[in-house]
Amino acid sequence: MTRPATAAARLRRGLVLPVLLLLAREAASRSGLVDPRFLPPLGTILSRALAEIRTGGLLGHLAASLARDLAGFAAGTGLGIAFGALLGASPLAGRLLGPTFRAFRQVAILAWIPIISVWFGFAETAKVVFIALAAFVPVAVNTQEGVAGAPAQLLEVARALRFDRRQRVLKVLLPAARPSILTGIHLALISWWLATVGAEYFRAVGPGIGGLIIAGRERFQMDLVMLGVVILGLVGFLLNLAAGALAARSPRWRDA
């Protein structure tokens, strides 16, 4: 019987293709097959990274992105859990708000940029709202499904103990929905970082990794552009690992 691959083995296998692509692009750049002004070698990108770190520019841009990310993620996740719990716990709210929410979540996230720009301008608040919106939808959807799918036996126990609505939600419905909520947070972590890139790129005001990429594009410094892309990829990869670790804990909590 074949043993399931360990996390380290899966990680090694997953790195094979990216490493091969990096080697191929490095060979193309150094051999002259591709103009290095458009595809700079890895050494040039590394030199740019060290220069940006020494001046504090790279760390400042990264800190700005992560700060607005955390603010938007916290707001979107909190509102998503509250709204999803309302829809799942209240049949009346589900009938009144459910159809509108289902239509709302079909709208592509980038389609909200013009509306958010009109309502909140182009400053920091608009970026945080955009990120919060990206995190809100998956958390709300999964919370609603988890709360609505709470086992009937638990609800019977809550009625036998004469729990009021608040106790039923906090002590029965939300704990029962915890695996679904974690799944929503997993998806939100991914959407959150992608939304950050969109927020910073389409609203090129203030510091951030998106602003770093735009600055490199406008000055035709492809090493700076590539550095920003690498940072986005690395942070996204780490967030995906964190989301996977969070999701891996969900079955244990379900069985607890």
Closest CA to 227 of 70, 53, 85, 23: 53
Residue 29, CA distances (Å) to 33, 42, 48, 49 in order: 6, 9, 16, 18
Q: pLDDT of the chain along its 256 residues, tens only?
A: 455 556 667 667 777 777 787 788 778 777 777 777 777 888 888 888 898 888 877 888 888 888 888 888 899 999 999 999 899 888 898 889 989 998 888 888 878 888 888 888 777 788 888 889 988 999 999 999 888 888 777 777 777 777 777 787 787 888 888 888 888 888 888 777 777 777 776 665 567 787 788 888 888 888 888 888 888 888 878 877 777 776 666 554 444 4
Q: pLDDT at position 248, please?
A: 67
Residue pair 187/138 in contact by the 8 Å Cβ criterion: yes
- Name the residue type at position 32: G
Q: pLDDT at position 127, please?
A: 83
CATH for 41-47+55-255 is 1.10.3720.10
pTM score, whole prediction: 0.76
